[in-house]
Amino acid sequence: MKKLLTKLFTTITCTLVIALTTLLPVTAADATFDLGKNLYSTNYIFLDADTGQVLSAKKQDEQISIASLTKMMTVLLAIENSSSLNQTVTITDEMIDGLYDEQASVAGYINGDTATLLDLCYAAAVPSAADAANALAIQIGGSFEKFYQMMNDKAAQLGMDHTVFKSAHGLDRDGQYSTVEDISKLLRYALQNPTFKEIFSTKEYTTQATAYYPFGIPLASTIWAYADTYGYNLTNLSGGKTGYTLQAGRCIAYWATVNDMTIIAVTAGASTNVEQYSNLSDAQTVLTSLASWQKKTILKSNDVVSTIEYKSFMHTANIDVKMDKDITLDLPANVECTYEVDLPKKFSAELYDQNIQATITFTADNKNIYTKTISITLPQEKNIFGRIILHLQNFIKG
Residue 177 · residue 65 · CB < 8 Å: yes
Residue 349 · residue 313 · CB < 8 Å: yes
Residue 318 · residue 308 · CB < 8 Å: yes
Gyration radius of the chain's alpha carbons: 27
- The CA distance from 306 to 16, in Å, is 10
The catalytic position among 71, 154, 185, 372 is: 71
201 belongs to the catalytic site: no
Nearest to 252 by CA among 295, 217, 221: 221
Q: Is 2 annotated among the ligand-binding residues?
A: no
What are the two backbone dihedrals, phi and then psi, of residue 320, each rounded to the nearest 5 degrees?
-80, 125
The catalytic position among 41, 105, 128, 281 is: 128
- The CA distance from 180 to 162, in Å, is 10
- The CA distance from 351 to 390, in Å, is 7
Nearest 10 degrees: Cα torsion 378, 384, 389, 390: 30
Q: In terms of C-beta density within 10 A (0-12 exposed, 13-18 middle, 19 or more buried), how is residue 116 classed? A: middle
The β-bridge relationship of strands 367-378 and 19-25 is antiparallel
- Give SS3 for 41: coil
CA torsion through residues 90, 92, 67, 74, sign: negative
Neighbours of 69 (CB within 10 A): 25
184 belongs to the catalytic site: no
167 belongs to the catalytic site: no
H or E element that contains 166? none
Q: In terms of C-beta density within 10 A (0-12 exposed, 13-18 middle, 19 or more buried), how is residue 387 classed? A: middle
CA distances in angstroms from 15 to 129, 354, 359, listed in the order given: 57, 16, 19
In sequence order, what are the residues at sequence separation of 6 or more whose Cβ sits closer than 8 angstroms to the Cβ of residue 277? 226, 230, 232, 250
The catalytic position among 41, 56, 65, 68 is: 68
Catalytic site positions? 68, 71, 128
Annotated binding-site residues read: 241
Annotated binding-site residues for substrate read: 241
